[in-house]
Structure 1
Amino acid sequence: MFSSHFNDALSALAKTAAQRDRQGGHAAKEKALLRDAGLLRLAIPAKHGGDERSWPDIYRHVRALANVDSALAHVLAFHQLQVATVLIYGTSQQQCTWLRRTVDESGWWGNALNPRDARLQATPSPSQLSQDGYVLNGPKGFCSGTRGSHYLTVSARVNNHVQPVLGLLETAAPGISVKDDWNPMGQRQTDSGSVQFTQVKLPLSAVMRSEHAETTAFHTLRNCLAQLVLVNLFVGVAQGARNQARDYAIAHVKPWQGSGIENATDDPYLLRRMGEMQAQISGAALMADHAASLLQNAWQQGESLTAAGRAEVAVAVFEAKVMAHRCTLFATQEMFDVVGSRGTHADLGFDRFWRNVRTHTLHDPLDYKLQTLGRWAVHGEEPSAHNYN
């Protein structure tokens, strides 16, 4: 299913994941492994030199990477999300220019499009007939993958308009400063710090969507793509926690005194815990795959996608998000009852699984996902395309 280069990268990353989690910082060498494995081309259409993989296949790559390193899985997934952003909002010329460059330059995409952070302001030029476009000033937070990136997708507010302008920029453009200020308890190598924009020129040729443009159902599919990134990260981390707990139990865990068994892996309580993890993770993975399949079908419809079709995808994504959220918190906590007290040794780094997902599960409240699903179940009310990221 995966290329030998990707499998080699997984093996190399697994050996250093715990140590790098403690260190934090920018994983330049590790990102180079992913780049050299050809993973930056996954979502890029073949006509632009890419692999044009399906979204279910792309998410399988993200999930496999999250098994061993959820921070780099996040960076890789957000690269694909920015490519998708260009495909959703960009003109044919913008897609050809920026995506061909991505392939030819093996360039990483960073995300400065966080819609919840409205501090970045775009000032239109006096004449929209000119090529000046906008001037950007202000900060943007939670900018995943920006450090070490080559290109950025960016959103900025224009006066009092609700809809932001969306644009494309080189990370090294004058006036852009990527800050090294990401210091969370988990996901420590996602390069998700802030970016400061000072008198940055966004020419009209690099504007994907103006503040006046209409929003279609296909445009809002980006929200579903972003949510499925988190779903597959959660499932991947849960799988990684389960695998680590199993391997450690087989190699190191001793039977409890008075249990009457010779091998700890025959302990009925340990087996029950592993069985519960297995059931929850398998269920969440199947729901993630189902949502990805629906998303792929919607993606192929393009601008002909209807609001009802998009709602079907959103409901499946929300359902998968709820189950993946719950199963990953359960697995990353329950693994410690499997590995026992010796499994808490700091060098093992088993705590990183819980810290990583707890950092991510706070991305948006599960209560609002459940409320939306409740409105769908009771009233048939379609999920709003504008109330989640």
Structure 2
Amino acid sequence: MPAEARWRAEATQQPLLDPRLFPYEFGQHTPRVEQLAREMAATVVEREKQGGSARAERQLIRDSGLLNVAIPQRYDGAELAWPEIYRIVRYLAAADSSLAHLFAFQHLQVATILLFGSVEQQRHWLTRTVQERWFWGNATNGRDTGLKLRPHEEHYELNGSKSFCSGALGADALVVSAPRGNNAVDRVFMLLPAQREGLAINDDWDAFGQRQTDSGTVQFEGVFVDSDELLVSGGQSPRSSLRVCISQLILTQLYLGNAQAALDGALRYTREQARPWIGAGVTSAEEDPFIQKRYGELWLAYRSALLLAENAAQHLQLAWEKPALGAAERGDVALLIAEARVTAARAALDITAQIFDAMGARATASRFGFDRFWRNVRVHTLHDPLDYKVRDIGNWVVSGVPPTPSLYS
């Protein structure tokens, strides 16, 4: 068997990730998470080249039973804590970053219902989500103000469009947002069946990374919205603003998932296929001192980002459990998440680019797909400017003022 074929065959029998990179388990959910990750990883290189919608793989996620992990037990869900959910997201992102994005955004929509919905709305929509194994998508891009909600007789009507609607294509239901009047920050969320008349979900996502997140546009033409479908119970409290924190920490996990997958794949390649530089005076790439130094630097970057992300997730959980969260407590959580996101983004961009310096030129062959990690991270780190996160951190360092709740902080 050729060396490359042997390496790929052996890799499929090894653990998905080096335990040093991912020293966590998922309790009773471990078999399902690991099986789902393996099935996604088996076809990710080929699918990522094709782009489009991964319908079969989305069905695998639906069949896994993991779509309900953020839903409270009172609505028949699994009700995992946020640190546990984020670890699952990170693990799946190592297998397939696009599908992990869809999986994670499912739980963001669930959180939206829990933060902004009435008890009756929560019961109705979340119980149905569990019973009917719903996949949620979104049309909530806060900067896109092209969607208008207007009163119409005894109900409301939506007209316009939304962009960056991750998971909308193929979803059973959508969380949608529209501005209240002319204020983009002051918006209302609503819940709609994805098959509602007048709603058109387009298959037009075409980025060079995160290629199967179904993040295209959704158009609304005279779409009926019942008053009971508006989420108005959460208001603009510090607790309801945790939605942004949850979203920002999702992005952090996706960066780290790509980084850990890039490191893991590069290490396996280095051991099995890479060659030492001719001037190194050693017989294997593993003994090359500059390759060792490269991996040491990348490990430090990954480990630092991982610990910050874990710490932020733990504090988010503490805030989530407080029914009367104060503004100062919310600000502390937002600051920790900003630190984690910036650090993870920088680490992931470095790791996914520099693995090639350790592996060598042959690793750039398209059949390996190592380039997808950098492309995924590069696209996703542009979600909202990291410079403003650093500015928020600097403002806190200088003046003690934590990040102000906004669409992205």
TM-score, normalization by structure 1: 0.96
Aligned to 1:362: 382
Q: CA deviation at 1:165?
A: 2.1
Partner of 1:76: 103
Partner residue, 1:64: 91
Residue 92 (structure 1) aligned with residue 114 (structure 2): no
Judge conservation of contact 1:123–1:158 (CA < 8 Å) in 2: no
Structure 2 residue corresponding to 1:136, chosen from 158, 174, 179:
158
- Structure 2 runs not aligned, ≥5 long: 1-24
The Cα of 1:159 is off from its aligned counterpart by 3.4
| SS class of match (1:164) | strand
Whole-angstrom distance in 2 between the partners of 1:217 and 1:274? 41
* Structure 1 residue aligned with 2:217: 194
Secondary structure at the aligned position of 1:123 is classed as strand
Deviation at 1:22, TM superposition (A): 0.1
Give per-residue Cα distances to partners, 1:66-105, cap 9 Å, x unaligned.
Answer: 1121111100000110000000001111100100111011
| Alignment check: 8 A CA contact 2:161 2:220 kept | yes
Question: Which residue among 200, 205, 229 is the counterpart of 1:206?
Answer: 229
Is 1:319 aligned to residue 339 of structure 2?
A: yes
**Superposition deviation, residue 158 in structure 1:** 3.9
1:227-249 deviation digits (Å, cap 9, x = unpaired): 00001111111000000100011
**In structure 2, what is the Cα distance between the partners aligned to 1:295 and 1:248?**
37
Specify the code of the residue in structure 1 equivalent to 2:48: D
| SS of structure 1 residue aligned to 2:177 | strand
Shift of 1:15: 1.5
| Corresponding residue for residue 19 of structure 2 | none
**Could you say what secondary structure the match of 1:205 adopts?**
helix
Displacement after TM superposition at 1:161 (Å) = 4.2
| Structure 2: distance between partners of 1:338 and 1:348 | 15
Query: Matched residue of 1:281: which SS?
Result: helix
- The amino acid that maps onto 1:362 is L
Letter in 1 for 2:380: H
Cα distance between partner residues in 2 of 1:306 and 1:361: 29
Structure 1 counterpart SS, 2:322: helix
Deviates more, 1:105-114 or 1:153-162: 153-162
SS class of match (1:348): coil
**Equivalent residue, structure 1, for 2:179:** 157
Counterpart check, 1:120 vs 2:147: yes
Residue 40, structure 1, aligned to residue 63, structure 2: no
CA contact (8 A) 2:142 2:407 kept: no
Q: Is the 8 A contact 2:280 2:289 kept in 1?
A: no
Q: 2:76 corresponds to which residue?
A: 49
Corresponding residue number in structure 2 for 1:17: 44
The answer to whether structure 1 residue 290 and structure 2 residue 311 are counterparts is: yes
Would you identify which runs of 4 or more consecutive aligned residues in structure 1 move more than 2 Å? 157-162
Contact 1:123 1:159 in 2 (8 A): no
SS of alignment partner, residue 72 of structure 1: helix
The letter for the 2-side match of 1:332 is T
Alpha-carbon distance in 2 for matches of 1:241, 1:150:
33
Distance 1:149 1:66 in 2: 20
| In structure 2, distance between residues paired with 1:156 and 1:364 | 19
8 Å CA contact retained: 1:122, 1:136: yes
Q: Secondary structure at the match of 1:157?
A: strand
- C-alpha distance in structure 2 between counterparts of 1:258 and 1:287, whole Å: 38
Q: Using the alignment, how far apart are the partners of 1:261 and 1:125 within structure 2?
A: 76
Structure 1 segment 259-270 matched on structure 2, within 5 A: 259-270=280-291
Number of residue-to-residue matches in the alignment: 381
Distance (whole Å) between structure 1 residues aligned to residue 59 and residue 274 of structure 2: 36
- In the TM superposition, what whole-angstrom CA distance separates every residue of 1:316-374 from its partner, at most 9, and x where no partner exists? 00000111011000000011111110000011111000000000011111111111111
3-state SS of paired residue (2:228): helix
Report the AA paired with residue 264 of structure 1: A
Instruction: Point out the more displaced range, 162-171 or 114-123.
Output: 162-171
User: How far apart are 1:35 and its partner, in Å?
Assistant: 1.7
Check conservation: 2:116, 2:235, Cα contact below 8 A.
no
Alpha-carbon distance in structure 2 between the residues aligned to 1:12 and 1:125:
47
Letter in structure 1 aligned against 2:255: F
Alignment-derived partner of residue 381 in structure 1 = 401
Is the contact between residue 6 and residue 34 of structure 1 (CA under 8 Å) also seen in structure 2?
no
Cα deviation digits, residues 265-300 of structure 1 (max 9, x gap): 110111111111111111111100100000000000
Instruction: Report the secondary structure of 2:137's partner residue.
Output: strand
Give runs of aligned pairs for residues 169-318 of structure 1, distance below 5 A.
169-209=192-232, 214-302=235-323, 304-318=324-338
The alpha-carbon deviation at position 13 of structure 1 amounts to 1.3
- Which residue number in structure 1 is paired with residue 11 of structure 2? none
Task: Kindly indicate whether residue 362 of structure 2 is the aligned counterpart of residue 342 of structure 1.
Answer: yes
In structure 2, how many angstroms separate the alpha carbons of the residues matched to 1:82 and 1:327? 28
- Kept in 2, the 8 Å contact 1:238–1:327? The answer is yes
Name the structure 1 match of 2:18.
none
Query: Does the CA-based 8 Å contact 1:68-1:240 persist in structure 2?
Result: yes
Consecutive unaligned residues in structure 1, runs of 5 or more: none
Q: Give the secondary structure class of the aligned counterpart of 1:346.
A: coil
Q: How many Å separate the matches in 1 of 2:346 and 2:172? A: 35
| Residue-by-residue CA offset, 1:117-161 (whole Å, 9 max, x unaligned) | 1110001135xxx4x1x1000000000001110010011124334
Q: Is the 8 A contact 1:124 1:158 kept in 2?
A: no
1:342 partner letter: R
Q: What is the root-mean-square deviation of aligned Cα atoms in Å?
A: 1.2
